[in-house]
Amino acid sequence: MVLKVYNTLSRKVEIFQPLGNNNVLIYVCGPTVYDYSHIGHARTYIAFDVIVRYLRYKGYDTKYIVNITNIEDKIINRAKKLNEDPKELADRYEKTFFDDMKALGLEKADAYPRVTEHIQDIIKYIQVLVDKNYAYQANGDVYFDVRKAENYGVLSRQSLGDVKAGARVEPNENKKFPADFALWKTAKPGEPSWESPWGNGRPGWHIECSVLSIKYLGPQIDIHGGGQDLIFPHHENEILQSESMTGRKPFVKYWLHTGMLNLKGEKMSKSLGNIFVIGDFLKKYDAETLRFMVLSAHYRSPINFNNRTLNQASRNLERLYITIDKLRKMIGEERPETTGQKEFTFLKSLDGYKQEFIKAMDDDFNTSLALTVLFNLARKTNLFINKNPEANKGSLEKILNLFLELGGILGLLHKVVESEELTKEIMELIKERESARAKGDWEKSDRIRAELRQKGIQLEDTQEGVKWRRLRRIKH
Ligand code: AMP
Ligand code: ZN
């Protein structure tokens, strides 16, 4: 089946045909590490995580690069405010970014190049632009001369006229034209800087992505991603820089952009002060719940974040886990060897679910439809289990494996393995608590109850004895 993707460049859904047959080169703009990442960032990185997972599932050899912007105005300004060294500040938030991405279950990119470790590459490429007359220097700054490039606006559909009307030249800037942008900024006293042919300074923001993408992936790549907020001017400027440097067009074959995660109709962003930091979020909610919520929407659609969408995601995810847990439990029991006719029919239908799932993902990564396929499979599995209490192990394993295979593409349903290990430990703890209770050791019994709760297990003392249930939704 053929994968189709929506390309921001053409504003159309196109057949995905990578430049190098089976190899897919992907670059996604990384974070500016000046503060904790929030769940809006998580939305974008989860979306690309699933896109990369799916490409790998389809057999493509992917090379996936995410840069780390660790020198930038925002970093310098915040460091000044906190009276901290900008490098230390950036290192600190880079670390929290990686911790967050790990906690969210993201697969690692192939490399995370840091800007400060590529200053010489950046200088080299700026020099190419200066030599080719695409860039000019003015008082230690270097600017890209947008009027020299023929293809301004290919991505954002902005014309130079629109930009001229919207932009303004700050009094301290030396630009010739409002849409020109800084490739190199002259050092201000006390700011981090590097030597260059134009004097001490540091790179502008846009140039790093052109340079790092070319350095790590080559002059032309298959997919470049980021949030829709980066289309203009960041990605527009990347195209100008890269194509002017290499003379190769297009720099990027498919531009993919994620919709924004909004709170009360406004983009979640630090500057608006309406953020949920990932670390705080994960203290209360589970990482898979966030992922599930993100994937319930198409990656290009906005997500309105609120308690209702979150709780809905949590309930729906729980529904899938209930079916999976049931399958696991049955697989662990004594089962007959033979496969009945009814079982056989259901097993034969499994491939149909898989094909539907793939069809949904092939349609510009329609994860919300793919999740619907998983729900249908869960519903049919529940019916099957109820009608076939004697189903054999092999059949049940086939069903379970399909859940795991398809869930794995979305980075979901991981906790299945964990839960089995957990079960033994939980059982021991429950037993220990019961014997403590029998001895009237209430303190110990309460301690164990709290410990289990920490592990996401809720105990209920019922008339039929102690029952436990997994708290996947909210960790207290
Ligand atoms: P930044 O560190 O602000 O440059 O953002 C890193 C990535 O996160 C970029 O691709 C942004 O487009 C994306 N991003 C930032 N805020 C949001 C949001 N509220 N929703 C979705 N993506 C976002
Ligand atoms: Zn970028």
pLDDT, one tens digit per residue, over 304-313 is 999 999 999 9
Ligand 1 pocket test target in 27, 43, 44 with most atoms within 8 Å of CB:
44
* Residue 475: band (very low, low, confident or very high) from pLDDT cuts 50, 70, 90: very low
Q: Which atom of ligand 1 is nearest to the CA of 261?
A: 20
- Beta bridge partners, 258, equal 227
Q: What is the full DSSP assignment across 332-360?
A: TS---SSPPHHHHHHHHHHHHHHHHHHHH
Q: Which atom of ligand 1 is nearest to the CA of 267?
A: 19
- pLDDT reported for residue 174: 87
| Cβ burial, residue 390 (10 Å; 0-12/13-18/19+) | exposed
- pLDDT reported for residue 344: 85
Is 0.85 surpassed by the pTM of this model? yes
DSSP helix, strand, coil percent of the chain (3-state; round to 5): 50, 15, 30
- Domain spanning 4-304: CATH 3.20.20.70: no
Ligand 1 pocket test target in 26, 38, 41 with most atoms within 8 Å of CB:
41
- pLDDT reported for residue 141: 97
- pLDDT reported for residue 472: 52
What separation in Å is there between the alpha carbon of 320 and the centre of ligand 1?
Answer: 30
Asked if the peptide bond before residue 250 counts as cis, ω within 30 degrees of 0, the response is: yes
Q: How many helices, marked H, and strands, marked E, lie in the chain?
A: 15, 15
- pLDDT reported for residue 346: 93
Residues with CB under 6 A from ligand 1: 29, 31-32, 40-41, 43-44, 226-227, 229-230, 258, 260-261, 267-269
Closest C-alpha residue for ligand 1 atom 14: 41
- Fold classified for 307-410: Four Helix Bundle (Hemerythrin (Met), subunit A) (1.20.120)
What separation in Å is there between the alpha carbon of 468 and the centre of ligand 2?
Answer: 48
Mean pLDDT of all residues in the chain?
92
Give the separation between CA 160 and CA 157, rounded to whole angstroms: 10
User: Strand 266-267 relative to strand 303-304: parallel, antiparallel, unpaired?
Assistant: unpaired
Give the separation between CA 179 and CA 423, rounded to whole angstroms: 61
Q: Which amino acid is at 170?
A: E
What separation in Å is there between the alpha carbon of 60 and the centre of ligand 1?
Answer: 26
| Weakest-pLDDT range from 37-51, 154-168, 179-193 | 154-168
- Beta bridge partners, 13, equal 6
C-alpha triplet 228, 233, 234: angle, nearest 5°: 75
Contact 468, 426 (CB under 8 A): yes
Contact 176, 207 (CB under 8 A): no
- pLDDT reported for residue 473: 42
- pLDDT reported for residue 337: 75
Extents of the domains making up the chain: 4-304, 307-410, 424-470
Closest CA to 35 of 294, 302, 271, 204: 271
Q: Which ligand is nearest to the CA of 212?
A: 2
pLDDT in tens, 119-130: 999 999 999 999
Q: Which atom of ligand 1 is nearest to the CA of 230?
A: 12
